[in-house]
Amino acid sequence: MLRLRWLWLSSFAVAVGCGGGDDGAVVDDDGGTEAGDETGAEGGPDGTTDTGAATDTGAATDTGTPPTDTGPPPTDTGPPPPPPPGCPAAPAGISAAALEAYAAVNAARTGAGSPCAAVNAALDLGAEKHCEYYVANKKTASCIANPHVEVATCASFYAANFNEREKKAGYTGSPSSEDMHFLGSAKPAVQGWIDTVYHRYPIIDPWTREFGYGGAAGCDTMDFGAGASTPKTVVAVYPYDGQTNVPISFNGAESPAPPAPPTGWPSGYVLGVHYTGTLSVYTITKAGATTPIPVLTVPKLSYQSNATFFYTHKPLEKGTKYLMHAEGNNGAAWKKDWSFTTAP
């Protein structure tokens, strides 16, 4: 079972192709209408790869108390699973934990309709170095006031921000974001990120195509880069079509903090559509019903023009099939219908 802890996200917007966010208002309706940006976030939904310089947007600054490790991490047993069919093998020499993360990330991506992401050895190294720093300093609050930022005077310092760590480790692409969890176990950490809003984004995003995982006792870090280009016509969804055992709820435990539903936490499970252009309709309906369930649409961060996340005001029902519908325009009008079933 995944232990519940706060998740932390750090991200940068690239000067080219980071516009098109929302106005910050929370949309509370039976479906949704929300405009995105045709160019989209880094990674090139228009078929190009962005190589601009990363600029700190400040969106992920958090000065609260960092999570406290409580007890040993879950124990991994057995060899890591192979990558999903159609995904290339991971490069030789990466750790077993990174292989496990690679399989978990691409299993979710391929189900959602995103192209496979590649493990990058330099991103692995930068993530590993950051967990080394975090573990060395987790009892010194001033060193981890923001878990994503390293302090030069603290033990095992590598580089201050994730984009600097990626470059120092030898990454030659465009840095995009960093996820952190505090389990020290790759597969549960990946699932923990997927079960949120902002941390899920780079894992499923069709236009984020490279990542690296580093772990240590009580620390998981995943660093992301733009990677290969992806056609702007791709539409990815999570939960994906035919998915079963989907969680019924979300408790909002991540930083930055998404908005609470009108009745307070927990909400229904996080629903997401990744696209370019515009998304004009998105609904969830219980199978057998005719009226969509009201949802709360999460305001976008500056770099999230390629996705819309939303959730029902209350937890979903157990063992129940839900029907999803979305419509948009990415240069051509599209419609998508899919379904998923919650855990019993």
Report the pLDDT averaged over residues 200-208. 97
Apex 215 CA angle, 210 and 219, nearest 5: 115
Q: Does 299 score more than 90 pLDDT?
A: yes
List residues bridging with 131 in a β-sheet.
Answer: none
Phi-psi region of 160 (alpha: psi -120 to 50; beta: other; left: phi over 0): alpha
Judge whether 214 and 128 are in contact, CB under 8 Å: yes
**Lookup: tokens for 143:** 């060193």
Report the pLDDT averaged over residues 176-181. 96
Q: Which of 83-87, 164-168, 190-194, 217-221 has the lowest mean pLDDT?
A: 83-87
Q: Closest by alpha carbon to 15, among 174, 224, 148? A: 174
Judge whether 108 and 204 are in contact, CB under 8 Å: yes
**Strand blocks (E) in the chain:** 7-14, 27-29, 34-35, 54-56, 118-119, 175-181, 210-216, 219-225, 236-238, 243-246, 249-250, 254-255, 267-268, 271-274, 278-286, 295-297, 307-312, 321-329, 333-342
Q: Which of 68-72, 168-172, 192-196, 290-294 has the lowest mean pLDDT?
A: 68-72
Predicted local confidence at residue 285, as pLDDT: 98
Predicted local confidence at residue 158, as pLDDT: 98
Q: How far apart are CA 58 and CA 209, in angstroms?
A: 23
Q: Does 251 score more than 60 pLDDT?
A: yes
DSSP string, 147-200: TT---TTSTT---SSHHHHHHHTT--S-EEEEEEESSS-HHHHHHHHHTSSTTH
Predicted local confidence at residue 84, as pLDDT: 77
**Lookup: tokens for 237:** 């969804």
What's the whole-number average pLDDT of the chain? 82
Q: Which of 38-42, 82-86, 138-142, 285-289 has the lowest mean pLDDT?
A: 38-42
**Lookup: tokens for 110:** 């391929």
Better-scored residue on pLDDT, 25 or 103: 103
DSSP string, 189-206: HHHHHHTSSTTHHHHH-T
Report the pLDDT averaged over residues 61-71. 37
Q: Closest by alpha carbon to 224, among 265, 254, 180, 182? A: 180
With bands split at pLDDT 50, 70 and 90, how would you rate the model's confidence at 80? low
Q: How many residues does the chain have?
A: 344
Q: How far apart are CA 226 and CA 13, in angstroms?
A: 11
Q: Does 29 score more than 80 pLDDT?
A: no
Q: How far apart are CA 221 and CA 50, in angstroms?
A: 24
pLDDT in tens, 101-146: 999 999 999 999 999 999 999 999 999 999 999 999 999 999 999 9
Report the pLDDT averaged over residues 224-250. 97
Q: Does 18 score more than 90 pLDDT?
A: no
As to burial, measured by CB atoms within 10 angstroms (0-12 exposed, 13-18 middle, 19+ buried), residue 45 is: buried
Q: Does 183 score more than 90 pLDDT?
A: yes
